[in-house]
Amino acid sequence: MRRLIKFIEDRFYVFMLTAIFLGIVSGRGAESFKPFMRPFLMGILFFTALKMDFSKVAEYARRYKLIAYIVIVHMVVIPVIAYYITLAILPEYAAGILVMAALPAGMASSTLTLLCSGEIALALMVTLSTAIVAPITIPVLVNVLTGRIESLSEGLKLIAPQAGLIAILLFTPVIAAFIIRKIFPKTVDKYQHTYSALSVISLTLLIYTAMSTSRGPVVSNPKEALYLLIFIFVLIGAFYIAGYYVAPWLKRSERVAFSVTAAYVNNGLGIIFATSFFPGDATMLLPVVVIELPMLAALLPLKVITCRPAWIEAVAKESSKTP
């Protein structure tokens, strides 16, 4: 069993890619999973939060100006820029790209930051901070920029249920995980090795269900879907670069943390948001589903690039010790 769990954790990308592929080639079974899409997302967040050490964020909680700056860039500046760029190139997908770009940092971004030699404490702080503001920033940006709000009262009617759902989806599993960690620390530690695998399984089922429901446009117009995928690849690359250079005064490990959290977003939340408030609209759903491909693909070169300076420094240090 431990070998299977380890395989799922180490080869998580295989499960993500398989879910997308099966969702495209066959929609069978998706209908039976639809009622469980929200529990799938909450399961991802719950199991991931069980692995998080919330005490590590204390250091960066005191650097509130830095965190505020990062949150504004991540949750407002980058989404607005991405939206208007998409509006000029692929206007039919502009709203979907806006949802994708406005998502908070993914819960797994702290682990990925660690793999890329980044500052995990900062990644955790960014993950929590972006999640806190997401219930407000996502509905406001989506409804204001796309012109869905014509009056204040109408805006409140649109934004309130969206904000409420996002808050419930994000906060409930994280709070539950935090409480359980406090009450049953030994039990939580005992099963630490299973949480990543359970998160992967939950995300796999969520992606498969979402991809199955939006496979129509992909099958009927594969060329357009390919253009969208290429465009998102470019955007994700830009997110990684922007995250690394937007705060040049930070040390390298902190810039890596922001780079990863800027690009590795909570697309599970985007899937639920799109299917809940824009049902049947593939232009809203496809970007938050296919983003999984570039997010995964970009990790290897990012890891190589970000780890190289540390490797060079280590070699230099060893060389200096040689008489």
Domain presence at residue 286? yes
Domain presence at residue 21? no
Spatial distance between the Cα atoms of 292 and 100, rounded to a whole number of angstroms? 11
| pLDDT at residue 310 tops 60 | no
Domain presence at residue 196? no
| CATH number of the domain where residue 119 is located | 1.20.1530.20
Tokens standing for residue 55: 């005490």
Domain presence at residue 203? no
Cα-trace Rg, the chain: 20
Give the CB-side neighbour count of residue 150, counting CA atoms within 13 A: 0
How many structural domains is the chain composed of?
A: 1
Domain presence at residue 26? no
pLDDT on residue 28: 62
pLDDT in tens, 185-225: 889 888 888 888 888 888 888 888 888 877 777 777 788 88
pLDDT in tens, 21-63: 888 777 665 667 778 888 888 988 888 888 777 777 777 778 8
Domain presence at residue 117? yes
Mean pLDDT of 314-318: 45
Spatial distance between the Cα atoms of 245 and 250, rounded to a whole number of angstroms? 9
pLDDT on residue 104: 93
Domain presence at residue 145? yes
The reported pTM is 0.83
Domain presence at residue 122? yes
Q: Which domain holds residue 178?
A: 37-188+220-307
Spatial distance between the Cα atoms of 116 and 102, rounded to a whole number of angstroms? 23
Percent of residues, the chain, with pLDDT higher than 90 = 23
Distances (CA, A) of 17 to 9, 11, 159, 176, 279: 14, 10, 33, 30, 24
Mean pLDDT of 163-190: 90
| Closest by Cα among 285, 283, 259, 258 to 274 | 285
